[in-house]
Chain A
Amino acid sequence: MTNQPGAHLHLTEGRRAGPSCVNNMLHYWRAMWGIIGRELWRFVTQRERFISALVRPLVWLFVFAAGFRAALGLAITPPYETYILYEVYITPGLCGMIQLFNGMQSSLSMVYDREMGSMRILMVCPLPRWFLLLSKLFAGTAVSVLQVYVFLAIAWFYGIKVPWQGYLWVLPALMLSGLMLGALGLLLSSFIKQLENFAGVMNFVIFPMFFMSTALYPLWKLKESSMLLYNLAKYDPFSQAIELIRFSLYGQFNQHAFIYTLVAFIVFMTFAIIGYNPSKGMMMKKGGS
């Protein structure tokens, strides 16, 4: 069994924590930063992971989008006010893709932690389970937001530019979409018993979610080919997260997408917390971690 240093920290800190409210708050704060710090440290030190997280959307942008260029422009749909190239259209979708894969990566690392036993240490830490999961989620989201900004910077040099305010407006949108997709990852990880099962998640969750969304094609285009696909894409929470990102990149607030993403986050998170509860959730059915 490998003892993770971050997990140890929480355990010992937990024992030392005094009864006062301030101490308690401090304890929560330290625990959260311990988890976020560990995740960021993992991300920064694993250079391959950093590069591969960027290569995936960049291949889509430079190769796929160039091949599918739609050189004569796409019809105008909000938030765009004029004709755009396909590269410009899929950029917010690729930001979402980064976050979707990052959410799944976190989920994968949870399964790994569970297999390696370090999860047990985290879960027995004397802090509420929901708080630990939320901290884990914030950690994953922070990493994904970082990845998206690096991607947007590369896209900027490639000529895909949004109004400068858009780079600020997109931050809260990225945080919410990152949380929602991370929560989905957590929820899935509560179902997966072994690392080998992760391929199923790729096939049955990530790919359908990605391809049946507005990441690669606008809704009206889907409507032309199939009403079923159109409806699936319309109600895909990933679509709504992308639309939230897309609108905010152009300084606009898409209320519908915001509410949809927020509700999806709450639902996924609630089920993830239940799923990680040894007495109620899937953990019990699987005999714990």
Chain B
Amino acid sequence: MKKNTLSLFLSLVLAGTVQAETVFVTLEKDNALAVVDPVEGKLIKTVPVGRRPRGIAISPDNKFLYIATSDDNTIKIFDAETLKEVGKLPSGDDPETFAINPAGDRLYVSNEDDSMVTAIDIAKKKAIKQIKVGVEPEGITVSPDNRWLISATETTNMVHWIDTKTNAIVEYTLVDPRPRSVSFTVDSQQLWVTSEMAGTLMILDAKTKQIIKTVRFEVSGVTADKIQPVGVVIDKDRIRAYVALGPANRVAVINAQTFEVEKYLLVGQRVWNLAFSPDQKRLYTTNGVSNDISIIDLDNQTVTKSVGVGNYPWGVAVKP
């Protein structure tokens, strides 16, 4: 009986610790990956990963981490548990951002300098197609229904709708200057696009490919030139969306039904990329200039902690 009570107690304690996810942050200047325990709010360790790591994603089965090491001209594959390098993908020169399809077998990379998107077969570690897009492709995503691959080009100011079956561009949408980040709603019905220069967020209808709403941001005391929206994420129930406002040091909380800005949350300097915790109770932000990440409690809509991680935190991925 005593043993049972003890084991029950232990399992409860362990359950408490197991639930905590791990947050991975690429450190552009440190050539490393920071591993953070977000519940404790502590940096656990920093692991070297290659030169100038930026874009990061975890495979849908949570087994592998993909990291774009820009100055090594490759996307490296790491075991998400041991953080040992297990392979490389032929990304083309200077990879920065990339997206994985829902099945986890294709990876699409923006090749900024060549105005291309490279489609890679992950299992074969081979490039299967190069798609010519506008100048300076940056934001890239695949719709959750795997219908569309989206590439946003910063200089052409366009969103390119690419059919994932044929890898051919089907349509274009002209958007506000310097589109940075693109993100689909879970039902794949809307595409949310941020414009760094206009300081706006655009919501596009996936059927008509037209902008249905443009959201503008205003933070009291912060000049308009500092409002440079980058990362955007939308929660799975499409109740709220969050936009990182760059040098405005704020994350905008947006009602995803009415598209009204509800609140601005103060985070670290030059907030860039965002990631949800698996249960979507927390949001993690990378703050490039203040060298930390901020942890936002989404139930209370408050920033609970900012954790120093290393130089130039860029991308963020979460493993349950």
Partners in one complex: yes
- Residues in chain A within 8 A of chain B (CB atoms): 69, 71-73, 75-76, 81-85
How many angstroms from the CA of A85 to the CA of B220 in the assembled complex? Answer: 12
Q: Is B155 an interface residue (CB 8 A)?
A: no
User: Contact flags (1/0) for B33-66 with A, using CB distance below 8 Å?
Assistant: 0000000010000000000000000000000000
Q: Of B220, B305, B306, which is within 8 A of A71 by CB?
A: B220
Residues of B within 8 A of A85 (CB): 266
The residue on B at minimum CB distance from A86 is B221
Q: Are B305 and A83 in contact (CB-based, < 8 A)?
A: no
| Minimal Cβ-Cβ distance residue in A for B268 | A83
Q: Is B151 an interface residue (CB 8 A)?
A: no
Whether B222 contacts A82 by the Cβ 8 Å rule is: no
Q: With A72-B249, A73-B249, A73-B266 as given contacts, are A82 and B306 in contact (CB-CB < 8 Å)?
A: yes
- Could you tell me if A81 and B306 are in contact, using CB atoms closer than 8 angstroms? yes
Cross-interface CB contact of A83 among B221, B226, B247, B306, cutoff 8 Å: B306
Minimum distance in angstroms from A252 CB to a CB of chain B: 14
Query: Please, which residues of chain B bring their CB within 8 A of the CB of A71?
Result: 219-222
- Minimum CB distance partner of A66 in chain B: B221
- Name B's interface SS: loop
User: Chain B nearest CB: distance from A220 CB in Å?
Assistant: 15
Report the nearest B residue to A68, measured CB to CB.
Answer: B221
How many B residues touch A, CB cutoff 8 Å? 20
| CB pair B266 A84 closer than 8 Å | yes
Q: Which of A72, A75, A81, A84 contacts B305 (CB 8 A)?
A: A81
- Chain A residues with CB below 8 A from B222, complex form: 71-72
The 5 closest A-B pairs by CB, nearest first: A71-B221, A82-B306, A81-B305, A69-B221, A82-B303
**B248 surroundings in chain A (CB, below 8 A):** 72
Chain B residue contacts of A83, Cβ below 8 A: 249, 266-268, 290, 294, 303, 306
**Cα distance A81–B294 in the bound complex, in angstroms:** 10
Residues on the B chain within 8 Å of A69, using CB? 220-221
B181 within 8 A of partner (CB): no
Name 9 interchain pairs, CB-CB below 8 A, sorted by A: A69-B221, A71-B219, A71-B220, A71-B221, A72-B248, A73-B266, A81-B306, A82-B266, A83-B306
Interface residue B19 (Cβ < 8 Å from any Cβ of A): no
- Asked if B111 CB lies within 8 Å of chain A CBs, one says no
Q: A81-B41, A82-B294, A83-B249 are in contact. Are A72 and B304 (CB under 8 A)?
A: no
CA gap between A84 and B306 in the complex, in Å: 11
A82 pairs with B249, CB closer than 8 A: no
Interface residues in B264-295 by Cβ distance below 8 A to A read 266-269, 290, 294-295
Contact across chains for B269 and A72 when beta carbons are under 8 A apart: yes
| Chain A residues near B219 (CB-CB < 8 A) | 71
Contact in complex: A82, B267 (CB < 8 Å): yes
> Interface readout for B247-266 with A: 1 if CB under 8 Å, 0 if not?
11100000000000000001
Q: Chain A residue with minimal CB distance to B306?
A: A82
Verify B304–A82 contact, CB threshold 8 A: yes
**Which residues of B are found within 8 Å of A84, using beta-carbon distances?**
266
